[in-house]
Amino acid sequence: MFLPIVHFDLDAFFASVEQKLNPRLRGKPVIVCGVDPQGQNVNRGVVSTASYEARSYGVKSGMPVYQARILCPQGIYVGGNFSAYQAHSAIVLTIIKRFAPKLEQTGLDEGFLDFTGCQELYPDTKILCEKIRRQVQNQVSLPVSMGLSISRVLAKIACNLGKPNGLFTIGKEDIKRIVHPLPVEYLPGVGPKTQIVLGNNGIKIIADLVKNEIKLTNLLGKFGYNLYLAACGIDNIWFGERAEIKSIGRSTTLVKNTNNASHINSILFQLCDEVFYELLDKNLTAGCVGISLRYPNFTDKQKSKTISDFPKTPSELYHQAVELFNTAWDKKTKVRLLGVRTSKLKKENNLTPRVKTILMLKRKYGSDILRSGFVLDTRPVNLKQ
């Protein structure tokens, strides 16, 4: 069967990596708390993801940890290890890239493959995807689900229908039978609020969306029209090629609020180091640097400035960030959160050999493989909730 568009998405990604790294966690309800998909710290109480064993108790991403503990008291609660997730993501992507002429990564653990025009080479994309899934399983020991179809929106729905650890196809002839009877929340873009609005207007399943183009547009404007397109299996604005990245940043909620300047500086350095190498990884430099801080009473301060020459090293970026930070911070109140952000991004190809080597090592072994001696071990990578 040749279906040109594939969506892949690793199952319970953070939890699967934890189970892979620690055999004692396999087959158990594992709940990862601590980091989000950008590596930012969410250590104050939210579930990042839950293994499928934990999901059977009703535990979900985004749920407060205290609620998860009520639903699943026997669960194993672990802190996030973002650099391990990044390293596993990079290996999986390398495997998948070998097969696909066109790959668009849409998240740390997911993306689209486009085999349009490759029918001669791959007459059966279903067989090919089974092979890719086996390779990921054999080489990285992580379960990945895939969906195949004729558009991105349908491939994504197919992937979700195949989860966990499955492969699901939706051909043109299957749309009425498989897609139309699904509840509206199976459609990407329909969250709990939209679901209520639609439900109040008698729209419960995808077939209802297909029948109600005008009603949807009147009800929800452009958003409604895009839902209508998605329900028809047509890629709407959300499924176009990815918009260009506008900014790259990192922020972290501190383990403990602090007004210790050298501690703050060390964290700022670490954030700058991560931002610097992410920019390089994407072949970008920035024309603007900014910092943010949050006080314990949740007041936020932000400062940014335009720069003509982008720093050549993480420490140059750090000096810019510290200068901005010192104009924003009152120098006595404790700080709860720190962030560094770069924007006005531009393409850059002039890397020094030293930086290229560091970048290569970070890509291969994860971003924590090399750290400046200036960075204290400040981020709670192994938080026990």
- Please name the residue ranges forming H helices in 260-313: 261-281
Nearest distance from C-beta of residue 175 to ligand TTP, angstroms: 23
Interface with ligand TTP (CB under 6 A), residue total: 16
Q: Does 64 bind ligand TTP (CB under 6 A)?
A: no
Q: Does 14 bind ligand TTP (CB under 6 A)?
A: yes
d(CA 291, CA 278): 17
- Contact pattern from residue 145 through residue 164 relative to ligand TTP, giving x for each residue in contact according to CB under 6 A and a dash for the rest: ------------------xx
Q: From the list 2, 26, 28, 37, which residue makes contact with ligand TTP (rule: CB under 6 A)?
A: 37
The nearer residue to ligand TTP, 164 or 287, going by C-beta atoms, is 164
Q: Does 51 bind ligand TTP (CB under 6 A)?
A: no
Q: From the list 2, 28, 36, 161, which residue makes contact with ligand TTP (rule: CB under 6 A)?
A: 36
User: Near Mg ion by CB under 5 A, which window of 1-9, 146-154, 209-217, 281-289?
Assistant: 1-9
Q: Does 14 bind Mg ion (CB under 5 A)?
A: no
Active site residue 110: yes
Amino acid present at 347: K
What residues numbered 275-334 form the site for ligand TTP, per CB under 6 A? none
d(CA 242, CA 251): 23
Is the Cα dihedral 207, 210, 214, 217 positive or negative?
positive
Quick one: which of 266, 237, 238 has its CA closest to 252? 266
Residue 89 contact, options ligand TTP, Mg ion, none, Cβ 5-8 Å cut-off depending on partner type: none
What residues numbered 93-112 form the site for Mg ion, per CB under 5 A? 109
Q: From the list 5, 6, 7, 13, which residue makes contact with ligand TTP (rule: CB under 6 A)?
A: 13
Phi, psi of 166 (to 5 degrees): -130, 175
Residue of 18, 53, 104, 110 marked catalytic: 110
Q: How many residues does the chain have?
A: 385
d(CA 227, CA 84): 36
Of all residues in the chain, what percent are helix, strand and coil, respectively (each to 5)?
45, 20, 35
**Block residue for tokens 């199952």:** 11
- Contact pattern from residue 75 through residue 114 relative to ligand TTP, giving x for each residue in contact according to CB under 6 A and a dash for the rest: ----------------------------------xx----
Nearest distance from C-beta of residue 13 to Mg ion, angstroms: 5
State both tokens at 319: 């000096």
State both tokens at 233: 């299996």
d(CA 82, CA 117): 37
Reduced to 3 states, what is the DSSP secondary structure of residue 335? strand
Q: Which residues are catalytic?
A: 110
Residues of this chain that bind ligand TTP (CB under 6 A): 9-14, 36-37, 48-49, 61-62, 109-110, 163-164
